[in-house]
Every structure is written in structure tokens, then in C-alpha cells.
Structure 1
């Protein structure tokens, strides 16, 4: 389901991403949630939620990278 606030994001996102990256994640997830409503638009047998999470992580990775310290940093 789409997220209204970043406080609703999964713990793995809230606990490890900077606030700006969380905002990117939320917006990308919500957009993908709408874009991939139809199962025919998804790859394989991925669920709508799995697809939206993959899209969201991809969006974050365009602007952030995970450092050697296991924290996410702007590129």
C-alpha cells in the first residue's frame, strides 16, 4: 500500500537512509504502486508491492550510495 508519511516506511528504510533518501523512496514507491497495478506490467510473478519496493530502491540508488561504513551517502 502507498505510504502517506516517511514514518510509515519499513524499518530497514527509516533506520538506514537519510531523510532525503527516505523521501525519494516514498515518492518512488507510491508512483510505482500506481504504475504497476496491472500484473501484466510486472516482470515474472513479482507482486505489486515487491515491484514497488524494487523501483523505490532503484530511485534511491540513483542519488545515494552505501558506504563502507554501511551508511548511505549522497553521490
Structure 2
């Protein structure tokens, strides 16, 4: 059963997840359902999608993960012949 709007998500999900994370869950769940996944499979895909950007904090509330620091690759130069 796909959701038509975010307000249709189960109450526990709406209470735990911030609005952006709800949007991620909603979109991932509906996409998985459209691809023919079972409801349980689609729910797992949706939670994994949320976990890519959010982590569960104290009290069960989800918070956005800190961004990874940029990696700077410095060129290595050697003295030559």
C-alpha cells in the first residue's frame, strides 16, 4: 500500500522523524512498492534510506548525520633524476 501523502505515514514514524527524513521515507517506500516489493521489504528500504542521512539520537529522535569532512588529496612530488 503506497502512501499518497506524508500525513498518511504511521504516527510513530511521523513522531520520530523530522520532516525531511519523513520525505525520504515516503519517497523510498513508494518507489520500492512501485517496483513490486512487499510492504515489509519497502519499509526496510525506506528505513535504510533514512539511515543514509540520519542517525537515531537519545530519546529515539532522529537527527541528521554530520557531513563528512572534505578529503583533500595532495599531490606528492619527489625530487627527480
Q: TM-score, normalised by structure 1?
A: 0.81
Runs of 4+ in 1 over 2 A off after TM superposition: none
**Alignment RMSD, CA only?**
1.1
Provide the rounded CA distance (Å) in 1 between the counterparts of 2:10 and 2:41: 15
Q: TM-score, normalised by structure 2?
A: 0.75
Unpaired runs of 5+ residues, structure 1, are: 43-47
Q: CA deviation at 1:32?
A: 0.3
Unpaired runs of 5+ residues, structure 2, are: 66-81
Which residue does the alignment assign to 1:54? 44
In terms of fraction of residues, the more helix-rich structure is: 1
Q: CA deviation at 1:34?
A: 1.4
User: Per chain length, whose mean CA-contact separation is higher, i.e. which structure has more relative contact order (CA < 8 Å, sep 6+)?
Assistant: 1
Q: CA deviation at 1:49?
A: 0.4
How many pairs are equivalent?
Answer: 65
Which residue does the alignment assign to 2:76? none
Which residue does the alignment assign to 1:45? none
